[in-house]
Amino acid sequence: MLSALKAEIQKMRSFIPASVRYGAPYRQKLKYLMESQFFGVERVREGQASDLRDLLRQAFLHTSHYRRMAQEIGCSWQDFRSPEDLRRLPVLARDTVRERQAEFLSDNIPESRRQKRFTGGTGGQPLGFVVERGRTDPLERAFVGRIWDWFGSRFEDPGVIFRGYAVDPADIRRGRFWGPWYPERNWACFSSYHMSGENLPAYAEQIRKLNPMFISCVASDLDPLARYWIEQKLAPLPRLRFIHQSGMLMHSDQRERFEKAFGARAFSTYGQSECTVFAGECEHNTELHVFPEYGVTEILRKDGGLADIEEVGEIVATGFNNYAMPLIRYRTGDLGAWSARGCACGRPFRLLSRLEGRGQYMIVLADGMVVGLNSILYGSHLPGLRMLKQVQVVQDKVGEILLMAVPTQEFNEDAGRALAAGLASVVEGRLVVHFRLVPEIPRVEGEKFKVLVQNLPVSWWTGYSGESPL
């Protein structure tokens, strides 16, 4: 009874415009963001430094972890005049947050304003954390709202969502693989777990009826529908303005497929549930614009030094939007590189020329060397990969991987052998590739699809912690 009442309240709230529903923090931040994108670089840096001092004041005065750190280092929040001063503080590991969560909670934010969250972690490292109720989410929405404005859409516009949401089992039994998503009444949420060949015609028919103005998705969730759309030669969606992908990397072949299938620009944003970094593509560029109003973003080498331009390192970030549980110089586990270029849009944001994906997406070769899975799979440009609907890699042994693949009709055994040999040759024979064709790759409801199931102790930062067989 109580859950039904909450659902009705949510439904009623969905008729309230976003500017009212998300409150003053949303309105004020969005107004500022629409202005700040046209500021000069120095003015943006001044605003960033001011926001940083406010965050450090909150953390140093109201959390036991940072209060103790400030005493040990002998500094005050007032000593930090620029983002560069953050380097006086140590980086923060995910395990530390997991093991000492209470030490990061702000004592001036009551329990009633603490909202518990959980991230499964694309790299297989789950984490529970807390955000500030009534503040963090509205601020997050404002950043998304600015990007959507670049592509000509608003939260109130009709859209369809493919983000791993679960649909009511009763609807599934009736062959209805979607449902309304509140508080946005014009959004339809589609199941990511029932996209079989038998069910895809129903998905396509309903989406054509809805005639959405945007699609919001995780790339792996939308991919089966895009392939079906192209195979059936269905017409593009006439009102569609963009396809917004986040939650994982969108590879170039997926981008091409989405745009061909649905007839609109596909773009990505990059962020985290932990609210430490946010970036997005603009209407002029496919490189990610890192937003300084959101926080301070660093890219570090393994030795902790700053990475050079175009040098891949780990993204370490400090977010401004969560005072309930501040995370300062947080090791995201993601890899990226700063671009040497600016963007034609003229906005005062640094660009990421590369986003390598999660740092845990690493493969251990026969000699114990650690390499990125993305470099092997997608950097090799092997033609056989384009004949696969979906792939998942499993590593249980050093120097060996199992590549499970859902094939297209054009894929055959010869193509499979050539692909396995090609992947092995990319790393000069230091990897044995076992290839297995499967009708589908099982998914766990409520979790993101994992391209790599890594069962060895490995990360980009620490390498392989086992013993090399050589």
Of the pLDDT bands very low, low, confident and very high (cuts 50, 70, 90), residue 359 is very low
- Name the residue with higher pLDDT: 259 or 173: 259
Taking the C-alpha atoms of residue 342 and residue 358, their distance in angstroms, rounded to an integer, is 25
Of the pLDDT bands very low, low, confident and very high (cuts 50, 70, 90), residue 13 is low
Give me the pLDDT at residue 159, please.
95
Q: What is the pTM of this model?
A: 0.80
Q: Are 243 and 217 in contact (CB under 8 A)?
A: yes
- Name the residue with higher pLDDT: 168 or 14: 168
Chain segment 286-339, per-residue pLDDT in tens: 999 999 999 999 999 989 999 999 998 999 999 999 999 999 999 988 889 999
Residue 1 has pLDDT above 50, yes or no: no
Q: Are 96 and 334 in contact (CB under 8 A)?
A: no
Domains along the chain with CATH numbers: 1-153+241-359 (3.40.50.12780), 362-464 (3.30.300.30)
Mean pLDDT across the stretch 365-379?
71
Residue 448 has pLDDT above 90, yes or no: no
Rounded to 10 degrees, what is the CA torsion of 380, 385, 390, 394? -50
**What percent of the chain is predicted at pLDDT more than 90?**
55
- Name the residue with higher pLDDT: 178 or 19: 178
* Mean pLDDT over the full length of the chain: 86
Chain segment 142-179, per-residue pLDDT in tens: 999 999 999 999 998 999 998 867 677 788 888 898 98
Mean pLDDT across the stretch 233-239?
97
Q: Are 354 and 340 in contact (CB under 8 A)?
A: no
